[in-house]
Amino acid sequence: LLAEARKGGVNVAAGTGISNYINTIPVEEQPEYPGNLELERRIRSAIRWNAIMTVLRASKKDLELGGHMASFQSSATIYDV
């Protein structure tokens, strides 16, 4: 697409297209983060703690119950985004 644009005379900045996602808003025009980072961190911690406790309680009854916590931990951030 970039090659075709250049052939057509479109001035495409160097480095454009390195990522599939291009931010068209200049940094100085970006709004402040609208959320509460500290509250969000605490909520994530509580959710992870709850998941760990659920697995540990289940494993006390039967070692076949529970789950693989590393799998959850590695994917939790992805789903958080």
DSSP state of 18: S
Identify whether the C-beta of residue 59 lies closer than 8 Å to the C-beta of residue 66: yes
Degrees (nearest 5) of the Cα angle 65, 45, 54? Answer: 15
Identify whether the C-beta of residue 80 lies closer than 8 Å to the C-beta of residue 44: yes
Structure tokens at 32: 């402040």
As a whole number, the mean pLDDT across the chain is 78
Tell me the per-residue pLDDT of 16-63, one tens digit each, with 9 for 90 and over.
666 677 778 888 998 888 999 999 889 888 888 888 888 888 877 777
